[in-house]
Chain A
Amino acid sequence: MSDFDSELDATGLNCPLPILRAKKAISAMDAGQTLRIIATDPGSVKDFEAFCKQTGNELLSSGEEDGKFTFMIKKPA
């Protein structure tokens, strides 16, 4: 199932690295593209919500499975 254009593995990294790396990844993406992020820091849930709210990127989904958090973020068109 490929509903994302780029993937970022931020497992094992603490705030602010997942956000920082997402920010960089997104700036390298085209408008309208989707980034999938995997993180293990529980704080990343709130962090990505705040990040998307403040930067205008769209948080398509946020989920957790087995201690891994997955986020889908869409760069606005």
Chain B
Amino acid sequence: MSVRLPGPERRDSILKAAQRLFAEKGYHGVSIDEIAREVNVSPSILYRHFKSKQVLYDAVLQALSAQRESYVQTVINSGTSFEDVLTGMTQVYIKSITDNPDLLRIELQSLLSKNPATSDFFKNRWKSFTDYIEFSLNERLPYDRPNREITILTAALMFQGMLREALLQKYLQPEDRLVDVSLSELSNELVRLFLRSVGIEKSHLSRKAVING
């Protein structure tokens, strides 16, 4: 017999359980029945809060997006230097995944599930990085550089790949090769390597670490 929770708390507990299960098994791998069992209610009570599995999934994403990391503080703190802003953004992003690794799991699950709303959601998160990198490189790279356009596009792609891969290895793989690397070390090094690869030398790490450990 389930404990009688008031509406909003019940809704919250459903969202939390749904997030956990969607993260673990993907949208198609979870049923409403299973989520209902997880929070000890009947499916009909669950349907009162969320009309369908899709509506519930969208609500999970909404809740996650409300916690969306903001880069405003980074911009205000680090001035306008490409190196500093990119490092700051990377730290903020890493922290958002550290605080909620389910975000990363749901993202990876969604890549294969062909749900357009979900892929838009995650594409939008990465767009902050790709927009910023493309814009900044467009300003910084000499105009006579050969294959300039391709370089800019590929650089943004590479950064996304590096960051996502690092997070994947840190949070989803049982053997954590990066266990001794702190998050701030990781983000600093990724940015440093990235900048060097596009021909921009990072003069010194001027930012103090935002994330500890």
Contacts and interface: CB of A to CB of B under 8 A. Distances in A.
Interface of A: 13-17, 19-20, 23-24, 43, 46-47, 50-51, 54-55
Contact of B70 (A13, A20, A24, A46): A46
A41 to B, nearest CB: 9
Q: Which of B73, B85, B128 gathers the greatest number of chain A CB atoms within 10 Å?
A: B128
A51 B76 contact: yes
Contacts of A43: 68, 70
B75 A19 contact: yes
Interface of B: 68, 70-76, 80, 85, 89, 124, 127-128, 131-132, 135
11 contacts: A14-B124, A16-B71, A16-B74, A16-B132, A17-B131, A17-B132, A19-B72, A20-B132, A43-B70, A51-B75, A54-B73
What 5 pairs between A and B have smallest CB-CB spacing? Answer: A16-B71, A14-B128, A14-B127, A16-B75, A50-B72
B72 A16 contact: yes
Nearest to B126: A14
B85 A20 contact: yes
A10 to B, nearest CB: 10
Contacts of B85: 16, 20
